[in-house]
Amino acid sequence: MTRTGSQYKNRTEQKTMLVELPVFWVTFIGFSGLSCSMAYRVPQIHKLWKRRSGADISHWMLHIQSLSYIIYVFYGILIYDWVYIISSVVSLLQNFMILGMAIYFDRQTHQQDNQHPVELVEIVAVK
C-alpha cells in the first residue's frame, strides 16, 4: 500500500496537504528544492575562490541569513521534517564557507599590503 502525503505522520499530528500525493513525490519535491538551495550558492563560492577577494560580500547579510538557518534547523527538528533540517544545515555550512573564505582572503590581502615596505625618498638639497 502506498501512503499519501496526508497520511505521513510526524511526532504530534497528521499533516494535511492540498493535493494528495504519494510520500515518494512529496519527498522528491522537497529534496528538489533542497538541491536548488544548495546549488545557488556554488557560483558565489566559485567567484570568491577565483577572485581571492571577499570585498563585495556583505558580512551582515551572511550573519542574518545564518541565524535564520539555525532557526530553521530547530523548526525542522520540532516538526520532524528532514528536508528542512538537511537544507538548513547545508545552507548554514555554505554560509560559513563563504564567510570563512571572505575573511581569509581579506586578511591575506591586508597582510600582503603590510609586507610591501614604503620606500623612503630622500630629499637632496640641490646647490
- Mean pLDDT of all residues belonging to the chain: 79
Cell of 83: 528536508
33 is a domain residue:
yes
Of residues 32, 24, 29, 31, the one with CA closest to residue 8 = 24
Q: For a pLDDT cut of 70, what percent of the chain falls above it? A: 76
N- to C-terminal Cα separation, the chain: 104
List, for residues 25-72, the tens digit of each pLDDT value: 888 888 888 788 778 888 888 888 888 888 888 888 888 989 999 998
pLDDT greater at residue 1 or residue 127:
127
Residues in the chain: 127
Cα 127 to the chain's mean position, in Å? 66
Which residue type does 39 have?
Answer: A
Question: Count of domains in the chain?
Answer: 1
Cell of 104: 581569509
Structural domain containing residue 94: 5-108
Give the range among 3-7, 14-18, 31-35, 53-57 with minimum mean pLDDT.
Answer: 3-7
Q: Tell me, what's the pLDDT at 12? A: 47
119 is a domain residue:
no
